[in-house]
Structure 1
Amino acid sequence: MSTPTPKPLPDNLDRGIFEQDENIANPPPREKFIPQRTFGTAAERARRNLNAKLSNPLAGFSHAELRRQGRNFALTHEIGDDEDVRAFELGAVLAQAPERYDSVAGLTSQEKEILRREFEHRWSQPWKMYAVIALCSLSAAVQGMDETVVNGAQIWYRHQFGIAGNKYRDTWLVGLINSAPYLCCAIIGCWLTVPFNHWFGRRGTIFITCCFSAITCLWQGFVSTYWAMFIARFFLGFGIGPKSATTPIFAAECAPPPIRGALVMSWQTFTAFGIMLGYAADLIFYQVADTPGIVGLNWRLMMASAMFPALVVCCFVFFCPESPRWYMSKKQYYRAYESICTLRYHKIQAARDLYYMHTLLEAENGMKLGQNKVLELITVPRNRRAMIASTIVMFMQQFCGVNVIAYYSSEIFLEANFAPASALGASLGWGVINFLFAIPAIKTIDTFGRRNLLLTTFPLMSLAMFFTGFSFWIPETHHTARTACIALGTYIFGIVYSPGEGPVPFTYSAEAYPLYVRSYGMALATATTWFFNFVLGVTWPSLRNAFTDQGAFAWYAGWCIVGWWLVLLFMPETKGKTLEELDQVFSVPTRFHAEYGLRQIPYFLKRYLLRRDVKPEILYEKEDVVGMGDVGHNA
């Protein structure tokens, strides 16, 4: 039987594995793409049209054909009884366009009410779904706490290990110890994501990585030399790397479409919560006195305290169901159905989402590209542009300078003549701000847009960095003004970072790559952010020693300006786009998008400064996906 020609999905429907929240009642306006000529051979055009085929494999089928497919799927894989077979018949129809449930014949009024409630009350979910949400949130908090307990602990262990001076050797050793986990993430940890997920599943990977986190955190509390601390922290990277890529995938694969984007976003929000907990632990254990036979009990308790949220995750991770999509990748269809039934209120919802996962996997497996998927990231222009944009936001997440504050804020405040307790308290204040201002991003990232958030916040982050650095020029005779300005500068930076460069990179990377290379793209994206995290952590003590505080902060303020230009020229907007439309967006040649970005500057000046009534230039057209794939060959 020939397959009908796929049709574009409705504008308000996002059916990817990493879908983002959309306003169903108010779909985004249609946009127009500048037509270009066709490039490449027939084989090259077929490869570039791959993502359009993956966007919705069920588009174009009649309801009768979809019912037949759903029934055959349930019977072939021996899933359930007659009630389950009926659920798959109706679920296959619903999978084509979930929001059109009113047009599906055979649904009872009760079933329609359940489907309606899914869209109108999207946070009304079964308790197992809330257990998954709690698990993913705690996993993110583990990571945040792993990152920041060292902030206060280093005040003491540097002296105990004999590396507290300003000598060249000492500054580099301090930086190397602090950044050791991110070196491991970049060169080993993140690249274990794919094999760990293949061997152990999503839950198993989270369990193993949290075990690594708990053991290494305890290990850090018992070391007595700087090289032993480096080794312990390096092994911590095995807990951070695979977990940072797996947890968002697990959340997205378990969540129903209406809340999927918010759950992917919650990774950054609860990482910020964990960062705040790390600062709180530093302040709690600050005044713990040494006991006979133990030197540095306070900093040892700080470092070891990060093991507790990891142990909580280990204790209840297997109370949550495994990802249904992972079961299906292992051909364990009945277990996948059992899993997703615990995550949905009704079997029809479960059958709908499971059958859609099946069609995506079949479409993905049917694509014979003829080369390594890692090479596909580079050789296919559409994928290469997504990789460039993702790499830019991941790189700038570090080189905006945020983790200078996250890892060294206590040292920075001590340099500003804060008392140790005040320095730790000021660091906790920054952590609270970082968490609280990350929460609104759950809404703004899908209303204001990823690109717009970055273009708005990068200049403000730059100004905050300049302000913080230049505040060190205030004479120490004006101590109150000096300390207030330094703290204010870091707090303003946290306020504008948290809804922008904080949540955007992971969300953007999760949606920019097409389905068939997404795991590899996410591994590359997380490796990028952790590598530059390592670079920033290892260089800051020496950078501050060489450039002074003023110059060191100005260095990262300058990078915020560079980041603004990179986003303007090379980062397309992905808000409110389906997979089909994202394929079109990333098929626009790089030079066309860069020219479009430059033309946005005079438009902004005319509209918002000169208050002229000018219409924005529109770059994309949502029709003619095949044509857009052809354009993608001309990089």
Structure 2
Amino acid sequence: MSEMSEKYTFDDREKSKRSQNEVLFNTREAVMKEAGEDDAALEHSVNVRLANPLLGVPFDKLQEDVNEFSATHGLEEYRELLFKGALCAQAQATGDYDAITVLNEEDRLALREEKEHKWKQPFQLYWLCVCCSVAAAVQGADETVINGALLFFPKQFNIGSNSDRDQWLTGLVASAPYIGCAFLGCWLTQPLNAVFGRRGTIFITSFVSFASCIWQACTNTWWHMFIARFVLGLGIGPKSATVPMFSAECTPPLIRGALTMQWQTWTAFGIMLGYVADLVLYHVGDSSGIKGLNWRLMMGSAAIPALFVMAQIFFCPESPRWLMKKGRYQQAMRSFLRLRNSPLLAARDLYFAYRLLIEEEKIRKSRGPFPFLELFTVPRNLRATIGATIVMFGQQFCGVNVIAYYSSNIIKNVANTTDINALLGSFGFGVLNFLFAIPAWYTIDTFGRRNLLLTTLPFMALFLLITGFSFWIPDDQSDAKLGVVLFGIMAYSCFYSPGFGPVPFTYSAEAFPLYIREIGMTYATVVLWFFNSVLAITWFRMQEVMKTQGAFAWYAAWCMILWLLTFFFLPETKALTLEELDIVFSMPTRKHAAYQWRMLPYYFKRHVLFQKSARKEQLFTVDNSIGKA
């Protein structure tokens, strides 16, 4: 027996066994008896196996497993540290670390600080999340450089009239990257990640984005522009799925939402940069026989963030979870050591993830040969799929990209203002979109994903209606009309940015279980980019048929529909481990919806009448000892 295990007295070991095993077995036995299940059925329950694979493992067996794991995977130098980590991982369910007498004061301090000072994390972790999410700036910049370029290239390509044909072609060119994402790019996520890893996928897709941004700046026909922008979607799609997944796999649960949402923060930053490029390059004149040099430079400027990503991505550690899936445990341990404040926390998360991977591999083998179908056939996965569909669809049909893509055209049509004034108004939208994403860093893991959506959606609907209905103001009051339109757009941005801005990618990246997460994120991003392309391609025609008032009212109505979908069908996921989420999504959808309906009187009393005495019924309490709700 090792020196470490000899530090346990007989009483200590018995105390540890009682607190972590006997109570668990007794509780499980009672639940099995009540449910009429035998032990074999319980062990084969996906929820139990994924809640904490270490629960109920006897002390000696756990030590034996750790020794075997260390010897098999070349981690002998970390053997004693891994055993400490395994004991801590086993005790995560109850939080009873006091019974683990082998921990020294430094270990206990690390465990306390993890809970009490959640933002005290290694610089490398913050660098990874922020720098990798700069990849989103490529997407954001393209969304808004097209906003300025649309003032120029349609006329140069002979598609700038108000005919039905030209309206559809202009929308088609603008939406090309998102068509590419939905129908091809996103489906490359899993094979690229399987072969090249998270970092390699981000590098490759950033290069594709860089090259296609330069390519689209060199086109001379609408169909050539469409092809170049379609290829841009092959870079945006896999990157948009990989980066949030990369962040979610590397970050601790208490701040996972805030760090994963850096994707949206930097998308907003890229949107702002795109408007800056539009303004700076607007007055560039043609030279050396190049026609449309200003819009070409606008389109090419979106390549700049991609260069930064390509230059720094391999300085970040690879996802430890991905490395373990490839059997590269020594590298995974080194990654965890760079991403955690203490070697004990690194060892705990490594061993816990290893045991979880074993369980998920058993689940994968017990399923059919078509894992994509499990998104819809396995109840736990189906609920995650429903949630991801709601938020990804909602991010588009809340109407935000109508403004992001076409705000300059919308503002210009208000009072026939100048192009530069239209771009200045769009720039204001971009600045607020970025600034109001920052508060969500703190609220997304405290206020919660679901609550952010429920709070912001009604205001988004209101300001969309104000923006659209302002077009009924007579043209002879053009200044007032323009002021109301700008107010509506700016106010809408202030509520979108902390709500439907950061929540969808954060929610989708954590909703799916690890064994099917890549496929789940692929599906989620397909939904997002498909409806993004629908929105982009139909706007000009919708504006012509429904008028601007009706078009904005259409998206305002969708905001209210999305509020209902969120209220009844979207479970909260804040501050839960990736494993505890399996328990949350085991709650039947019908039961969740019925509970929310019963709670309507409570919400009214508590948040409208401000009755502090109102009491809320608990939907469920998580019994971590048995992995059931």
TM-score by length of 1: 0.88
CA contact (8 A) 2:182 2:527 kept: yes
1:92 equivalent in alignment to 2:86? yes
SS, match of residue 158 in structure 2:
coil
Which whole-Å deviations, capped at 9, do the CAs of 1:418-444 have from their partners, x for residues lacking one? 321111111111011111111111222
Structure 1 residues 343 and 621 mapped into 2: Cα distance closer, same or farther (>3 Å)?
closer
The equivalent of 1:518 in structure 2 is: 517
Work out the CA distance in 2 between the residues paired with 1:617 and 1:602.
11
The 5-angstrom pairing of residues 161-310 of structure 1 reads 161-310=157-306
Work out the CA distance in 2 between the residues paired with 1:452 and 1:184.
33
How many residues of Structure 1 are paired with residues of Structure 2 in the alignment? 596
CA contact (8 A) 1:185 1:531 kept: yes
1:347 equivalent in alignment to 2:346? no
Structure 1 residues 41 and 549 mapped into 2: Cα distance closer, same or farther (>3 Å)?
farther
Structure 1 residues 595 and 343 mapped into 2: Cα distance closer, same or farther (>3 Å)?
closer
Q: CA deviation at 1:40?
A: 12
Task: Compare 357-366 and 96-105 and name the one that shifted more.
Answer: 96-105
Structure 1 residues 609 and 259 mapped into 2: Cα distance closer, same or farther (>3 Å)?
closer
Percent of counterpart pairs with the same letter?
Answer: 53
Work out the CA distance in 1 between the residues paired with 2:457 and 2:351.
42
Work out the CA distance in 2 between the residues paired with 1:553 and 1:39.
55
SS, match of residue 356 in structure 1:
helix
The 5-angstrom pairing of residues 95-494 of structure 1 reads 95-97=89-91, 101=97, 103-367=99-363, 368-371=365-368, 372-416=370-414, 417-494=416-493
Q: CA deviation at 1:114?
A: 4.1
Which whole-Å deviations, capped at 9, do the CAs of 1:27-75 have from their partners, x for residues lacking one? xxxxxxxxxx97999999877x303311211123355543443233212
Work out the CA distance in 1 between the residues paired with 2:450 and 2:109.
37
Work out the CA distance in 1 between the residues paired with 2:483 and 2:299.
29
Structure 1 residues 268 and 6 mapped into 2: Cα distance closer, same or farther (>3 Å)?
farther
Work out the CA distance in 2 between the residues paired with 1:533 and 1:43.
47
Work out the CA distance in 2 between the residues paired with 1:145 and 1:268.
12
Work out the CA distance in 2 between the residues paired with 1:394 and 1:135.
23
Q: CA deviation at 1:513?
A: 2.1
CA contact (8 A) 2:186 2:526 kept: yes
Q: Which runs of 5+ in 1 are unaligned?
A: 9-36, 630-635
Q: CA deviation at 1:345?
A: 4.5
Structure 1 residues 605 and 352 mapped into 2: Cα distance closer, same or farther (>3 Å)?
closer
Structure 1 residues 259 and 487 mapped into 2: Cα distance closer, same or farther (>3 Å)?
same
The 5-angstrom pairing of residues 43-58 of structure 1 reads 49-58=45-54
Q: CA deviation at 1:86?
A: 2.1
Q: CA deviation at 1:353?
A: 1.8
> What code does the residue aligned with 1:173 have?
L
Q: CA deviation at 1:105?
A: 2.8
CA contact (8 A) 1:74 1:80 kept: yes
Q: CA deviation at 1:320?
A: 1.8
> What code does the residue aligned with 1:339 have?
S
The equivalent of 1:12 in structure 2 is: none
1:495 equivalent in alignment to 2:491? no
CA contact (8 A) 1:588 1:628 kept: no
Work out the CA distance in 2 between the residues paired with 1:620 and 1:500.
26
Which whole-Å deviations, capped at 9, do the CAs of 1:458-514 have from their partners, x for residues lacking one? 211111111000111111221221111000001111111111111111122222222
Structure 1 residues 627 and 437 mapped into 2: Cα distance closer, same or farther (>3 Å)?
closer
RMSD: 2.7
Structure 1 residues 316 and 611 mapped into 2: Cα distance closer, same or farther (>3 Å)?
closer
The equivalent of 1:30 in structure 2 is: none
Structure 1 residues 344 and 384 mapped into 2: Cα distance closer, same or farther (>3 Å)?
closer
> What code does the residue aligned with 1:86 have?
E
> What code does the residue aligned with 2:270 have?
G
Work out the CA distance in 2 between the residues paired with 1:187 and 1:5.
53
SS, match of residue 155 in structure 1:
coil
> What code does the residue aligned with 1:146 have?
D
Task: Compare 420-429 and 579-588 and name the one that shifted more.
Answer: 579-588
The equivalent of 1:544 in structure 2 is: 543
> What code does the residue aligned with 1:395 have?
F
Q: Which has the higher contact order (CA 8 A, sep 6+)?
A: 1
Structure 1 residues 386 and 542 mapped into 2: Cα distance closer, same or farther (>3 Å)?
same
> What code does the residue aligned with 1:545 have?
E
Q: CA deviation at 1:267?
A: 1.5
Work out the CA distance in 1 between the residues paired with 2:143 and 2:98.
49
CA contact (8 A) 1:140 1:271 kept: yes
Work out the CA distance in 2 between the residues paired with 1:374 and 1:352.
31
CA contact (8 A) 1:6 1:53 kept: no
SS, match of residue 366 in structure 1:
helix
Work out the CA distance in 2 between the residues paired with 1:100 and 1:39.
30
CA contact (8 A) 1:251 1:263 kept: yes
Q: CA deviation at 1:121?
A: 3.9
Which whole-Å deviations, capped at 9, do the CAs of 1:142-197 have from their partners, x for residues lacking one? 22213221111111111111111110001101111111111111111111111100
Q: CA deviation at 1:578?
A: 4.7
> What code does the residue aligned with 1:383 have?
N
Q: CA deviation at 1:252?
A: 2.3
CA contact (8 A) 1:223 1:229 kept: yes
Which whole-Å deviations, capped at 9, do the CAs of 1:533-578 have from their partners, x for residues lacking one? 0000000011111111111111111111211122222222233445
> What code does the residue aligned with 1:308 have?
I
Q: CA deviation at 1:391?
A: 0.6
Runs of 4+ with deviation above 6 angstroms = 3-6, 37-47, 624-629
Q: Which runs of 5+ in 2 are unaligned?
A: 1-19, 26-33
TM-score by length of 2: 0.88
Structure 1 residues 5 and 578 mapped into 2: Cα distance closer, same or farther (>3 Å)?
farther
